Structure 1
Protein backbone atom coordinates (compact mmCIF):
# COMPACT_ATOMS: atom_id res chain seq x y z
CA UNK A 1 0.00 0.00 0.00
CA UNK A 2 1.46 3.39 -0.93
CA UNK A 3 1.12 6.71 0.92
CA UNK A 4 -1.76 7.97 -1.21
CA UNK A 5 -3.82 4.86 -0.46
CA UNK A 6 -3.22 5.18 3.30
CA UNK A 7 -4.69 8.70 3.41
CA UNK A 8 -7.97 7.87 1.71
CA UNK A 9 -10.74 9.01 3.99
CA UNK A 10 -13.84 6.94 4.45
CA UNK A 11 -17.16 8.56 3.64
CA UNK A 12 -19.07 9.94 6.60
CA UNK A 13 -21.67 7.53 7.97
CA UNK A 14 -25.24 8.66 7.54
CA UNK A 15 -27.33 9.28 10.66
CA UNK A 16 -30.63 7.48 11.20
CA UNK A 17 -33.88 8.93 12.54
CA UNK A 18 -33.37 6.87 15.71
CA UNK A 19 -29.93 8.44 16.22
CA UNK A 20 -31.41 11.92 15.75
CA UNK A 21 -34.10 11.09 18.33
CA UNK A 22 -31.41 9.84 20.73
CA UNK A 23 -29.44 13.08 20.38
CA UNK A 24 -32.60 15.11 21.00
CA UNK A 25 -33.27 13.11 24.17
CA UNK A 26 -29.70 13.67 25.36
CA UNK A 27 -30.00 17.41 24.67
CA UNK A 28 -33.31 17.51 26.57
CA UNK A 29 -31.59 15.83 29.54
CA UNK A 30 -28.75 18.35 29.50
CA UNK A 31 -31.27 21.19 29.30
CA UNK A 32 -33.22 19.74 32.25
CA UNK A 33 -30.09 19.86 34.41
CA UNK A 34 -29.25 23.41 33.34
CA UNK A 35 -26.47 23.10 30.78
CA UNK A 36 -27.67 24.72 27.55
CA UNK A 37 -30.11 27.62 27.56
CA UNK A 38 -33.51 27.25 25.91
CA UNK A 39 -32.38 29.06 22.72
CA UNK A 40 -29.28 26.81 22.56
CA UNK A 41 -31.45 23.73 23.06
CA UNK A 42 -33.84 24.76 20.30
CA UNK A 43 -30.95 25.50 17.95
CA UNK A 44 -29.26 22.16 18.64
CA UNK A 45 -32.47 20.13 18.35
CA UNK A 46 -33.19 21.76 14.98
CA UNK A 47 -29.62 21.00 13.90
CA UNK A 48 -30.00 17.38 15.05
CA UNK A 49 -33.00 16.86 12.79
CA UNK A 50 -31.16 18.52 9.90
CA UNK A 51 -27.98 16.47 10.47
CA UNK A 52 -27.08 14.04 7.73
CA UNK A 53 -24.08 12.33 9.32
CA UNK A 54 -23.18 10.82 12.68
CA UNK A 55 -20.30 13.30 12.97
CA UNK A 56 -22.75 16.20 12.72
CA UNK A 57 -24.75 14.66 15.56
CA UNK A 58 -21.63 14.08 17.70
CA UNK A 59 -20.67 17.73 17.22
CA UNK A 60 -23.93 18.80 18.90
CA UNK A 61 -22.94 16.94 22.09
CA UNK A 62 -19.18 17.54 22.01
CA UNK A 63 -19.15 20.26 24.71
CA UNK A 64 -21.53 18.38 27.02
CA UNK A 65 -20.35 15.83 29.60
CA UNK A 66 -20.33 12.06 29.11
CA UNK A 67 -22.94 9.60 28.10
CA UNK A 68 -26.50 10.16 29.21
CA UNK A 69 -28.85 7.26 29.78
CA UNK A 70 -31.94 7.85 27.72
CA UNK A 71 -34.94 5.54 27.74
CA UNK A 72 -34.94 3.26 24.70
CA UNK A 73 -38.64 3.76 24.14
CA UNK A 74 -40.79 6.87 24.55
CA UNK A 75 -42.41 7.45 27.93
CA UNK A 76 -46.18 7.12 27.96
CA UNK A 77 -48.16 9.78 29.80
CA UNK A 78 -51.53 8.75 28.40
CA UNK A 79 -52.77 7.67 31.84
CA UNK A 80 -52.47 11.17 33.31
CA UNK A 81 -55.74 12.94 34.16
CA UNK A 82 -56.72 15.43 31.43
CA UNK A 83 -55.69 18.45 33.53
CA UNK A 84 -52.17 17.02 33.90
CA UNK A 85 -51.64 16.05 30.26
CA UNK A 86 -48.74 17.78 28.61
CA UNK A 87 -48.70 20.55 26.08
CA UNK A 88 -47.78 19.41 22.61
CA UNK A 89 -44.61 20.53 20.85
CA UNK A 90 -43.88 20.21 17.15
CA UNK A 91 -40.41 19.64 15.73
CA UNK A 92 -39.68 19.79 12.01
CA UNK A 93 -37.88 16.81 10.58
CA UNK A 94 -37.33 17.82 6.98
CA UNK A 95 -40.44 16.75 5.10
CA UNK A 96 -42.57 15.94 8.16
CA UNK A 97 -43.25 17.02 11.74
CA UNK A 98 -42.67 15.12 14.98
CA UNK A 99 -45.11 15.69 17.83
CA UNK A 100 -43.75 15.47 21.36
CA UNK A 101 -45.00 16.59 24.75
CA UNK A 102 -43.80 17.05 28.30
CA UNK A 103 -45.04 15.11 31.30
CA UNK A 104 -43.53 14.67 34.78
CA UNK A 105 -41.46 11.74 33.47
CA UNK A 106 -39.93 13.81 30.65
CA UNK A 107 -40.41 14.35 26.93
CA UNK A 108 -42.43 11.69 25.20
CA UNK A 109 -43.86 10.90 21.79
CA UNK A 110 -47.60 10.28 21.96
Structure 2
Protein backbone atom coordinates (compact mmCIF):
# COMPACT_ATOMS: atom_id res chain seq x y z
CA UNK A 1 0.00 0.00 0.00
CA UNK A 2 2.83 2.38 0.87
CA UNK A 3 4.50 1.71 -2.47
CA UNK A 4 1.26 2.73 -4.19
CA UNK A 5 1.28 6.03 -2.31
CA UNK A 6 4.89 6.69 -3.35
CA UNK A 7 3.91 6.02 -6.95
CA UNK A 8 0.97 8.41 -6.64
CA UNK A 9 3.20 11.17 -5.25
CA UNK A 10 5.29 11.14 -8.42
CA UNK A 11 2.28 11.11 -10.75
CA UNK A 12 1.42 14.28 -12.64
CA UNK A 13 -1.56 16.24 -11.32
CA UNK A 14 -4.40 17.47 -13.52
CA UNK A 15 -6.07 20.89 -13.60
CA UNK A 16 -9.00 19.43 -11.66
CA UNK A 17 -6.60 18.32 -8.88
CA UNK A 18 -5.09 21.80 -8.70
CA UNK A 19 -8.57 23.32 -8.53
CA UNK A 20 -9.53 21.03 -5.62
CA UNK A 21 -6.45 22.12 -3.69
CA UNK A 22 -7.15 25.81 -4.48
CA UNK A 23 -10.72 25.34 -3.22
CA UNK A 24 -9.44 23.75 -0.01
CA UNK A 25 -7.04 26.65 0.48
CA UNK A 26 -9.94 29.09 -0.06
CA UNK A 27 -11.88 27.30 2.67
CA UNK A 28 -8.84 27.49 4.98
CA UNK A 29 -8.59 31.23 4.33
CA UNK A 30 -12.27 31.65 5.16
CA UNK A 31 -11.83 29.64 8.36
CA UNK A 32 -8.92 31.86 9.41
CA UNK A 33 -6.35 29.06 9.18
CA UNK A 34 -4.31 30.97 6.58
CA UNK A 35 -3.60 34.67 6.27
CA UNK A 36 -3.93 36.38 2.88
CA UNK A 37 -0.20 36.35 2.13
CA UNK A 38 0.17 32.64 2.88
CA UNK A 39 -3.03 31.85 0.97
CA UNK A 40 -1.82 33.75 -2.11
CA UNK A 41 1.56 32.03 -1.97
CA UNK A 42 0.01 28.57 -1.65
CA UNK A 43 -2.54 29.14 -4.42
CA UNK A 44 0.26 30.20 -6.77
CA UNK A 45 2.22 27.08 -5.84
CA UNK A 46 -0.92 24.95 -6.32
CA UNK A 47 -1.45 26.18 -9.87
CA UNK A 48 2.25 25.67 -10.63
CA UNK A 49 2.36 22.15 -9.09
CA UNK A 50 3.19 19.29 -11.40
CA UNK A 51 2.79 16.26 -9.13
CA UNK A 52 0.45 15.04 -6.44
CA UNK A 53 3.31 15.31 -3.90
CA UNK A 54 3.63 19.04 -4.60
CA UNK A 55 -0.12 19.49 -4.13
CA UNK A 56 -0.25 17.36 -0.97
CA UNK A 57 2.56 19.41 0.59
CA UNK A 58 0.34 22.50 0.44
CA UNK A 59 -2.32 20.86 2.64
CA UNK A 60 -0.25 18.89 5.18
CA UNK A 61 -0.73 21.39 8.02
CA UNK A 62 -4.47 21.83 7.36
CA UNK A 63 -7.11 19.54 8.86
CA UNK A 64 -9.15 17.48 6.42
CA UNK A 65 -12.53 18.83 5.41
CA UNK A 66 -15.56 16.87 6.48
CA UNK A 67 -18.00 16.72 3.58
CA UNK A 68 -21.21 18.64 4.29
CA UNK A 69 -23.24 15.44 3.87
CA UNK A 70 -21.32 13.80 6.74
CA UNK A 71 -21.12 16.84 9.01
CA UNK A 72 -23.60 17.34 11.82
CA UNK A 73 -23.03 21.09 11.55
CA UNK A 74 -24.64 23.25 8.91
CA UNK A 75 -23.67 26.86 8.14
CA UNK A 76 -26.29 29.47 8.89
CA UNK A 77 -28.52 30.08 5.89
CA UNK A 78 -27.46 26.86 4.18
CA UNK A 79 -30.16 24.64 2.69
CA UNK A 80 -31.21 21.68 4.83
CA UNK A 81 -30.81 19.25 1.94
CA UNK A 82 -27.87 19.15 -0.43
CA UNK A 83 -28.58 20.70 -3.80
CA UNK A 84 -28.49 18.60 -6.93
CA UNK A 85 -26.53 21.16 -8.90
CA UNK A 86 -23.09 21.16 -7.21
CA UNK A 87 -20.33 22.91 -9.18
CA UNK A 88 -21.92 22.54 -12.63
CA UNK A 89 -23.69 25.95 -12.64
CA UNK A 90 -20.38 27.62 -11.83
CA UNK A 91 -18.73 25.85 -14.78
CA UNK A 92 -21.61 26.90 -17.05
CA UNK A 93 -21.15 30.49 -15.90
CA UNK A 94 -17.44 30.32 -16.80
CA UNK A 95 -18.29 28.99 -20.27
CA UNK A 96 -20.98 31.63 -20.83
CA UNK A 97 -18.66 34.42 -19.78
CA UNK A 98 -15.85 33.14 -21.99
CA UNK A 99 -18.18 32.76 -24.99
CA UNK A 100 -19.42 36.31 -24.45
CA UNK A 101 -15.85 37.62 -24.36
CA UNK A 102 -15.04 35.78 -27.58
CA UNK A 103 -18.23 36.50 -29.56
CA UNK A 104 -19.54 39.90 -28.40
CA UNK A 105 -16.97 42.00 -30.31
CA UNK A 106 -17.86 40.05 -33.46
CA UNK A 107 -21.60 40.56 -32.97
CA UNK A 108 -21.13 44.29 -32.37
CA UNK A 109 -18.92 44.85 -35.42
CA UNK A 110 -21.14 42.78 -37.70
CA UNK A 111 -24.20 44.71 -36.48
CA UNK A 112 -22.44 48.00 -37.25
CA UNK A 113 -21.34 47.01 -40.76
CA UNK A 114 -24.77 45.57 -41.60
CA UNK A 115 -26.34 48.82 -40.37
CA UNK A 116 -23.94 50.82 -42.57
CA UNK A 117 -24.80 48.59 -45.54
CA UNK A 118 -28.53 49.00 -44.82
CA UNK A 119 -28.32 52.79 -44.56
CA UNK A 120 -26.28 53.09 -47.74
CA UNK A 121 -28.72 50.79 -49.56
CA UNK A 122 -31.64 52.93 -48.39
CA UNK A 123 -29.93 56.16 -49.39
CA UNK A 124 -29.05 54.82 -52.83
CA UNK A 125 -32.59 53.43 -53.17
CA UNK A 126 -31.31 50.08 -54.37
CA UNK A 127 -30.10 46.89 -52.77
CA UNK A 128 -26.29 47.11 -52.84
CA UNK A 129 -23.85 44.22 -52.88
CA UNK A 130 -23.78 42.63 -49.39
CA UNK A 131 -20.16 43.44 -48.55
CA UNK A 132 -20.59 42.84 -44.76
CA UNK A 133 -20.35 39.14 -45.61
CA UNK A 134 -16.63 39.71 -46.21
CA UNK A 135 -16.31 40.94 -42.64
CA UNK A 136 -18.64 38.44 -41.00
CA UNK A 137 -17.68 35.29 -42.90
CA UNK A 138 -13.91 34.94 -42.38
CA UNK A 139 -13.97 36.39 -38.87
CA UNK A 140 -16.87 34.13 -37.94
CA UNK A 141 -15.02 31.07 -39.26
CA UNK A 142 -11.97 31.96 -37.17
CA UNK A 143 -14.18 32.42 -34.10
CA UNK A 144 -15.86 29.04 -34.64
CA UNK A 145 -12.43 27.38 -34.72
CA UNK A 146 -11.32 29.34 -31.64
CA UNK A 147 -14.52 28.41 -29.80
CA UNK A 148 -14.23 24.71 -30.56
CA UNK A 149 -10.52 24.66 -29.67
CA UNK A 150 -11.04 26.75 -26.54
CA UNK A 151 -13.88 24.61 -25.23
CA UNK A 152 -11.98 21.41 -25.96
CA UNK A 153 -8.83 22.78 -24.31
CA UNK A 154 -10.53 24.13 -21.18
CA UNK A 155 -9.93 27.79 -21.96
CA UNK A 156 -13.01 29.06 -20.02
CA UNK A 157 -11.76 27.35 -16.87
CA UNK A 158 -8.22 28.66 -17.29
CA UNK A 159 -9.53 32.20 -17.70
CA UNK A 160 -11.75 31.79 -14.64
CA UNK A 161 -8.76 30.57 -12.61
CA UNK A 162 -6.65 33.49 -13.79
CA UNK A 163 -9.48 35.93 -13.02
CA UNK A 164 -9.75 34.47 -9.51
CA UNK A 165 -5.98 34.79 -9.05
CA UNK A 166 -6.11 38.46 -10.02
CA UNK A 167 -9.05 39.02 -7.69
CA UNK A 168 -7.20 37.35 -4.81
CA UNK A 169 -4.05 39.40 -5.51
CA UNK A 170 -6.10 42.60 -5.43
CA UNK A 171 -7.73 41.54 -2.15
CA UNK A 172 -4.34 40.70 -0.66
CA UNK A 173 -2.93 44.02 -1.84
CA UNK A 174 -5.84 45.93 -0.30
CA UNK A 175 -5.41 43.99 2.92
CA UNK A 176 -1.68 44.77 3.02
CA UNK A 177 -2.47 48.47 2.49
CA UNK A 178 -4.97 48.37 5.35
CA UNK A 179 -2.41 46.68 7.59
CA UNK A 180 0.24 49.26 6.67
CA UNK A 181 -2.16 52.13 7.37
CA UNK A 182 -3.06 50.59 10.71
CA UNK A 183 0.60 50.26 11.74
CA UNK A 184 1.73 53.69 10.51
CA UNK A 185 2.27 56.12 13.36
CA UNK A 186 0.15 59.20 13.14
CA UNK A 187 2.08 62.41 12.43
CA UNK A 188 2.03 64.73 15.42
CA UNK A 189 0.63 68.21 14.84
CA UNK A 190 3.41 70.76 14.32
CA UNK A 191 3.62 73.13 17.26
CA UNK A 192 3.19 76.83 16.56
- Shorter-chain TM-score: which interval? 0.5 to 0.7
CA pair 14-99 structure 1, distance change in 2 beyond 3 A:
same
Task: Count how many residue pairs are aligned between Structure 1 and Structure 2.
Answer: 77
| Distance change in 2, residues 1:72/1:52 (3 Å) | farther
CA deviation digits over 1:60-110, x for unaligned, max 9? Answer: 00000013549952664x7xxxxxxxxxxxxxxxxx6522369xxxxxxxx
Q: For 1:57 and 1:38, locate their aligned partners in 2 and report how far apart those are by CA, in whole Å.
A: 19
Alignment of 1:1-110 (within 5 A): 10=7, 12-67=10-65, 69=67, 73=87, 76=90, 97=159, 98-100=162-164
Gaps of 5+ in 1: 1-5, 79-95, 103-110
**DSSP-derived class of the 1:99 partner:** helix
CA distance in 1 between counterparts of 2:24 and 2:86 reads: 12
Q: Structure 2: where are the runs of 5+ without partners?
A: 69-84, 94-157, 169-192
What is the TM-score normalised by the length of structure 2? 0.34
- Larger relative contact order (C-alpha < 8 A, sep ≥ 6)? 1
What TM-score, normalized by structure 1, do the two folds share? 0.57
Which protein has the bigger strand share?
A: 1
Give 3-state SS (helix, strand or coil) of 1:30's partner. Answer: helix
RMSD (Å) for aligned C-alpha atoms? 3.2
Bigger Cα Rg: 2
Distance 1:72 1:63 in 2: 27
